[in-house]
Structure 1
Amino acid sequence: MKHYERTFKENAVKLSYERGKGQIAGFARELGIAPDYLYKWRQDFEKYGTGSFCGCGHPKMTPQQAVITSLEKKIKDSKITLEILKKGTRYVSKGKIMTKNFIENNKSQYSIQKICAVLEVSETTYYRRKKQEITDTEARVILLKQEITSIFYEFEKGYGCTKITKELQSRGFKIKNSSVKFYMRMLGLRSIAKRNYKVTTDSYHNNYVVPNVLNREFRVSEPDVAWVSDITYIQTTKGFLYLTIIMDLFDRKIIGWSLSTKMSTKATILPAWDMAVTKRKITKNLIFHSDRGVQYANKIFTSKLESYKCVTRSMSRKQNHNDNSVSESFFGSFKRELINRNKLLPRKQMRVEVQEYIENWYNKKRRHSFLGYKTIEEFNEFN
């Protein structure tokens, strides 16, 4: 079957209108084509206009349909461009290897030419990089970056470069703190900054107080030699909760704690004490140190401690927070790592978060600078 060019068809139709309706067959024979062809071309032209003769594999469209189709193509192309930008921009900023990996992982969805054009990446560079093998150094750097990022988010943005370095070393990596600091800066990873907080201590009372027996001797050689305690507030969507903790100075473990809506002795220190003596038995002389808060100085708690013949009470000097700095240091970490990074929570949810922080994070997974950047469990394993 003979094929005719688009221009020829259009000119034949236009000239046929000049000849008149009764001369179409004769005009077709003059052109050397079958009259049926010319009649069909005229019908198509009357319906689709210049969109009639678009060639094989292309649908016939009216001018309006052609405009709509063109706009739809542009919209589709814009959506694809936006998808590629959203997915790929962060990989381009991480270097050629990550860019190449992104293209490899997405070439089944988008054309390589399109991805390179949108991300302004040279196709030549991509194909050259694809042929090259990754060096051992490059592979190690990629692994390090992935591991640093994983640790940073595993510990909920609470670790700085020093603790991440120690965690990497515990996992078998030989790396210096300066290198971790460099990669964290490159990856844009920053630990949550400290914020100031205040401690709720009511020391204006007539109850009996005792001298500072501990005298800032915060290092002890074995468990159950000295415990320290303190109370802080936590704001929630419905008022405050009060967290009371008891810490063993030997391994810095929180061995007793309570969370209450009231500041009474029965709601704060008594349940925390009961938990502590359940977890660690008092079998030798123990110093129990706190501030001068009324919860620690009143008769109820005093009697409780006096029932243990080997417990010696100790209290911070008046308006001297450094005498109980270890407890306050814990609250600083607690507020920075849990409270300050969240919006206000309901009381019920806050109780869950606090328990998770103390029992599963602080006492088990967190690395402590005082313990040589070991976890409490690692420290006790070797002591």
Structure 2
Amino acid sequence: MRDEGFAVESICRVLREQGVQVAARTYRYWKKAAPATRIVSDAQILNALHDLKGTPESLYGRRKMVAYLRRQGHAVAHCTVDRLMRLAGVNGISRRRMKPRTTVPGPGDRAPDLLNRDFTAEAPNRVWIADFTYVHTASGWVYIAFIVDVYSQRIVGWHAQTSRGVELVRIPLRLALWERDRTQHPVVPGELTHHSDAGSQYTAVKFTENLALQGITPSIGSVGDAYDNALMESINGLYKTECIGSRIFTPQRLESIVDVELATMSWVQWYNTRRLHSTLGMVPPAEYEEAYWAGHARITESPERVAQPI
């Protein structure tokens, strides 16, 4: 037997002279033997990790990467994924602390805090939380407002604009109600609580009147305490890190509000339908909601709602 023009015995003799003790029969056995099971499985996982580069799933850390690979049919252990992610140079993205303050408290009386930091709900359309954040572009600041259903952590409405007027928070409310009607899961008047911080947009008369017309109960946290809207603050942080900071959804340079809207639209779609959430049992919000609706009667007709513009 020869290997690339050299006899195996000669190669092994030279290796032994260099201190590598290997016999010719050892080489021949290795040459004929099938690759080890671990080598094959490692190669499959490394290929899967390589295919994720440049995709939103590449943002996952070790724990979510394990859940993702298992959903794709790979029987992997946490230690294996940890070892192979280090080998492949794959690391989940980490969140940076948000420093600028966006909440400017409104004057006068406001609704009480009905959640008391309890960010749980027994069903969809029972508790919505809302807040807005900001993004800097070459054309100036862009503000993005979100509304999230606490039950599934699904983003049910969002809107971006270049000013912080009350329309910034009114439009996503209208879009969220429309989306729930469109999917035949409308909001029932009297059942939904809308929770936000004490920003002047959420305490404005135009906004609170809209909530009242739709039969939605307002809830507002205290001034200067992020924990009173902690879940929404966390989702804002995810948006700034995964959508804006990672550059997977955005171009290298954000030129205007158009770039922000396109990136936000793509991120929200991924967040709702594909992103794994540890608090939901490692499933996306849309899948978590569908599991709920599958076990409950679907509402096929929207309830009577006051025909007032919002």
Query: What's the TM-score once normalised by structure 1's chain length?
Result: 0.63
The answer on 1:217 being equivalent to 2:217 is no
Match of 1:274 in 2: 174
After superposition, residues 230-249 of structure 1 pair within 5 angstroms as 230-249=131-150
Q: CA deviation at 1:250?
A: 0.6
The answer on 1:354 being equivalent to 2:264 is yes
Match of 2:19 in 1: none
Question: Amino acid of the residue matched to residue 156 of structure 2?
Answer: I
Match of 2:48 in 1: 147
CA deviations 1:129-181 (Å, max 9, x no partner) are: 76553233321111122123334543253111111100111122222222211
C-alpha separation in 2, matches of 1:352 and 1:192:
21
After superposition, residues 245-260 of structure 1 pair within 5 angstroms as 245-260=146-161
Q: CA deviation at 1:253?
A: 0.6
CA deviations 1:353-376 (Å, max 9, x no partner) are: 111111x21111111111111112
Question: Amino acid of the residue matched to residue 279 of structure 1?
Answer: E
Match of 2:164 in 1: 263
Question: Amino acid of the residue matched to residue 135 of structure 2?
Answer: I
Match of 1:373 in 2: 282
C-alpha separation in 2, matches of 1:128 and 1:155:
44
Q: CA deviation at 1:208?
A: 3.0
Residue aligned with 2:58, SS: coil
Residue aligned with 1:259, SS: strand
The answer on 1:292 being equivalent to 2:195 is no
Q: CA deviation at 1:290?
A: 0.3
Task: Calculate the aligned-residue CA RMSD, in Å.
Answer: 2.2
Unpaired segments ≥5 residues, structure 1: 1-123
Q: Structure 1 residues 127, 274: closer, same or farther in 2, change over 3 A? A: farther
Assess if the C-alpha contact under 8 Å between 2:57 and 2:275 holds in 1: no
Match of 1:315 in 2: 220
Assess if the C-alpha contact under 8 Å between 2:154 and 2:286 holds in 1: no
Q: Aligned residues: percent identity?
A: 27
Residue aligned with 1:289, SS: strand
Assess if the C-alpha contact under 8 Å between 1:207 and 1:298 holds in 2: no
After superposition, residues 328-343 of structure 1 pair within 5 angstroms as 328-342=233-247, 343=252
Return the structure number with greater relative CO, CA threshold 8 A, min gap 6.
Answer: 2
Q: CA deviation at 1:191?
A: 1.6
Q: Which has the higher helix share?
A: 1
CA deviations 1:338-362 (Å, max 9, x no partner) are: 211234311122221111111x211
Residue aligned with 2:273, SS: coil
Assess if the C-alpha contact under 8 Å between 2:127 and 2:194 holds in 1: yes
Of residues 169, 184, 194 in structure 1, which corresponds to 2:85?
A: 184
C-alpha separation in 2, matches of 1:169 and 1:152:
18
Q: How many residues align?
A: 256
Q: CA deviation at 1:285?
A: 1.3
Residue aligned with 1:318, SS: coil
Question: Amino acid of the residue matched to residue 356 of structure 1?
Answer: S
The answer on 1:208 being equivalent to 2:109 is yes
